[in-house]
Structure 1
Amino acid sequence: MSWFIALSDFLLYVVLAFLAGDVVLRFIKTERKPLIQVPKKLLLIALALVPVLLAPPVIQLVLLLSDAYGLSQAAVDVVVQFRAGQSYVFGVLIALAWFIIVWRDGSAAMRAFWLVLSVVNVGYASHAASIVEWQGVIGHTLHFLALVLWAGVLIHIAWFMKNGDNWRAFLRWFTPFSIAMMVVLIGTGIWLMLFFVAPEDYASSWVLPYGQLLLLKHLSIVPLLLAALINGLLSKSDAPNHAWLKVESWLLVLVLLITAFMSKLAPPHNINETFRLEGVAPFSEWLIGPQYIPINAVWTPNIDGFLLMGIGLLCLGLQWLGYRKKLPEWLSFLFGVGFVAAMYIGLMFSFLF
């Protein structure tokens, strides 16, 4: 069930990013963006999916409580007493209001209002909010807002652009916009991480499911940044490179996928206690052998680790070469994934836990 819930969260993130892109681009003048055509029906379908994608964690809670309290009483208790239930009700009402605005061709300002409320609602239901209350809500909301704004514009440009008119004018605002969003993402990401993982426990957390995905998320940002650098700063063409825009969008979707699965795992406030409850992360025993309490990561440089990290850097270089030699976009995406995989294994080999 947890895998299904994580997948629904991932799809929710993609849907909200798609809707956020529509909102941002409505504030941009026609002469500062390419021609982008998104069917109104597609926006309405996306909004209709929001209540469906918000439902799985609520259903899970209701089913867990139903044996003790009965189905109807469990449903009431979840809505009244649990953040997930309250967030679901708010999310459905927000999606309904937003649906009406889109259906009636409402203003960009009204769409932005419901977008911000939707993102705040996601922040309200987050792990961070349940642990540190308002600091968690603010941190997660800012983090998620920056992510969907950047991802949303990119999705529209990569998949719904009809021509490359005004490309240089578009880059003049989108490049600093992307940089600003990345600064917010990194800053709030560090802030949120400190709620869950002490800096000295960062490497030790890699043996846990949450810590493993946290490392993979951090590594996945590197090829994403390279793709963004190529599209935004290094490309001198007056026409967009559709293939590389799709590479960047796929890499951003990879970050969203990892984030969604990470959000459903127990944060390692106490490494040893979390290990006792959650056990070792998938694949970790294959790489570093059986693990025992206490967990204490120690840097132990070795040739295997260096070789694998070297392969990771080589994959990053091949990603760049894919752009230079105009290789198929799927191949450049695989090089980015190869960097993440090789660097992850290399780092795991380089620590004794």
Structure 2
Amino acid sequence: MDILVIISQTLLYLCFSVLAGSFILLLVPSKFRPDIKIPKRLLLISAILLPVFAFIPVLDITLYIAPRLGLFESLKIVLTTYKIGTAWDFTLLGSIVLILLISLVKSTEKSNFAILGALLTFGIIFTIAWSSHASVIDPIIGIISDFLHLSAVSIWVGILLVIGWFALNHKNWLEFLSWFSSVAIGCFVATILSGLFLMDLMIDGYIDSWLVSYGQGLLMKHLFLLPLVFYALVNGFFVKYKLSKDDTFNPIPWIRVEGFILFAIFTITAVFSQQSPPHGLPLTSDIISPIFRLFHDGTFESGHTIGFVLNVNSVWFFFLSLLFMGLVVLSIFKKASIIISFLLSCLFVICIYSMLMVTVVIR
């Protein structure tokens, strides 16, 4: 069931991104973006799947208590008394309205359609934030932070995905970059600030949280920000330079790579968001992350903290990370496949992660 929950949450975030990116791009005048053709069927399928994927965590809790109360009684209790259940009720309601809007509208090019669609999409995102771990710890700061976090990333990923896969050409690309660069910076800042608020709620210490699975997920997400920022700079500066010198240069592949990395961050979020946050939990051996144990085994007790000691292995992984970063840069100049560039970026992150893990000592 855990695997199903992880997959469902990853696809839920993807649906939010498709909807948010589509509605925002439909609001942008055509002279400020490439020509795009967003299939209405895609919007409809994404809207239909929202309550389906959002229901999986509800089902997980229902099945957990069903042996004692029965399936239907458990489902009734979860949907009417549990926060995750009542939040899903509103998710379903908002999704039904969104489905009707997409189904009944004749033209997706009308601004009223895009405005209503965007409002409904972000309203449904709010219902997901309402049922998050952070909202349980602090109903106000938790909900607002989680809403801003998911909204900002959905906008960023959504625009990249829609432009990357549904643009018919790269006409008006410089005009597109002129406003999208500002949007991406705004989303990045909003993601960082809301993430800091969430971390303050969910964990007692960032580095010490690496001992548990939740903290491992945070670390991996943050390390993927390194290649993400790199490709954002490539799309913001290198692509502008190339287009000013060569009108035939196709910038879309590099938008796709940036989208792949953001989707990888989405996947990591889905995997580790199901783990219990370490806020207030005593440190015991049974909650230590299995990934952390690959690098450090032994007995862990309350009061243990993480320190750092430089060694040969950490230097080795550092130089490996530099090598892969150099290969990423080379792949851009050699116009390599976007899959190769993405894999090299992943290897770069793995090396940085391994460098940190082998440098860690338990005190």
**Does TM, scored on the shorter chain, surpass 0.5?**
yes
1:167–1:240 contact (8 Å) kept in structure 2: no
What is the match of residue 101 of structure 1?
101
Q: Tell me the distance in 2 between the aligned counterparts of 1:348 and 1:271.
A: 22
The alpha carbon displacement at 1:128 in A equals 0.4
Matched, 1:324 2:333: yes
Q: Distance in 2 between matches of 1:174 and 1:240?
A: 17
The yes-or-no answer on 1:237 pairing with 2:242 is yes
Output the CA distance in 2 between the equivalents of 1:270 and 1:312.
35
Instruction: Point out the more displaced range, 312-321 or 47-56.
Output: 312-321
Q: Structure 1 residue aligned with 2:355, among 324, 343, 346?
A: 346
Structure 1 position 195, deviation (Å): 0.8
Q: Which amino acid in the other structure matches residue 30 of structure 1?
A: S
Moved over 6 A (4+): none
Q: Match for residue 289 of structure 1?
A: 297
Deviations 1:199-226 (A, max 9, x none): xx32222121111111001001111111
2:109 matched residue in structure 1: none
Is the partner of 1:352 in helix, strand or coil?
strand
Residue in 2 that maps onto 1:68: 68
Aligned sequence identity (%): 30
* Structure 2 gap segments, 5+ residues each: 106-111, 244-248
> Which of 268, 271, 284 is residue 261 of structure 1 equivalent to?
271
**Distance of 2:27 and 2:299 partners within structure 1:** 53
CA distance in 2, matches of 1:72, 1:120: 27
The residue type paired with residue 254 of structure 1 is: A
Aligned to 1:225: 229
Is the 8 Å Cα contact of residues 65 and 74 (structure 1) preserved in structure 2? yes
Shift, 1:58, TM fit: 1.0
Q: Which residue of 2 aligns with 1:202?
A: 206
Kindly state the Cα deviation for residue 240 of structure 1 after the two structures are TM-superposed: 4.0
What amino acid does structure 2 have at the position aligned with 1:256? F
Distance 1:271 1:287 in 2: 22
- State how far apart, in whole Å, the 2-side matches of 1:309 and 1:197 are: 28
Q: Does 1:132 align with 2:141?
A: no
Q: Is the 8 A contact 2:317 2:355 kept in 1?
A: yes
Tell me the SS of whatever aligns to 2:36.
Answer: coil
Task: Note if contact 1:196-1:269 (Cα within 8 Å) is conserved in structure 2.
Answer: yes
Partner residue, 1:167:
173
- For residues 63-92 of structure 1, what are the alpha-carbon distances to aligned partners after superposition, in whole Å with 9 as ceiling and x for unaligned? 122222222221111011112111221111
Secondary structure, counterpart of 2:35 in structure 1: coil
Question: Whole-Å Cα distance in 1 between the matches of residues 80 and 162 of structure 2?
Answer: 38
Deviations 1:314-342 (A, max 9, x none): 22222122112211111110111011111
Aligned mates of 2:250, 2:145 — CA distance in 1:
34
Tell me the equivalent position of 1:301: 310
Give unpaired runs (5+ residues) of structure 1. Answer: none
**Two-structure CA RMSD over aligned residues (Å):** 1.4
Say how many residue pairs are matched. Answer: 349
Over 3 Å counting, the alpha-carbon distance change for 1:339 and 1:271 in structure 2 is farther
CA distance in structure 2 between the aligned counterparts of 1:161 and 1:291, rounded to whole angstroms: 54
- Contact 1:210 1:265 (8 Å CA) reproduced: yes
Amino acid at match of 1:115: T
Deviation at 1:250, TM superposition (A): 0.7
With the length of structure 2 as denominator, give the TM-score of the two structures. Answer: 0.93
- Aligned mates of 2:190, 2:340 — CA distance in 1: 30
For 1:51 and 1:311, the matched residues in 2 are separated by: 44
In 2, distance between residues paired with 1:302 and 1:141? Answer: 41
- Preserved contact between residue 214 and residue 276 of structure 2 (Cα < 8 Å): yes
The corresponding residue for 2:57 is 57
SS at match of 2:242: coil
What letter matches 1:120 in structure 2?
F
State whether residues 35 and 165 of structure 1, in contact with CA within 8 Å, keep that contact through their aligned partners in structure 2.
yes
State the distance in 2 between where 1:285 and 1:110 align: 49
Q: CA deviation at 1:271?
A: 5.6
Asked if 2 retains the 8 angstrom alpha-carbon contact of 1:285 and 1:291, the reply is: no
Aligned equivalents of 2:215, 2:318: Cα separation in 1: 19
C-alpha distance in 1 between matches for 2:321 and 2:82: 43
Match of 1:4 in 2: 4
2:290 alignment partner, SS class = coil
Note the alpha carbon deviations across 1:210-268, whole angstroms, 9 max, x for none: 11111001001111111111012222233542221211111010000011112100111
Structure 1 match to 2:91? 91
CA deviation profile, 1:3-53 (whole Å, cap 9, x unmatched): 210110010000110010111112100110101111111111111111211
Separation of aligned partners in 2, 1:323 and 1:242: 13
Describe the shift of the 1:335–1:342 C-alpha distance in structure 2 as closer, same or farther (beyond 3 A). Answer: same
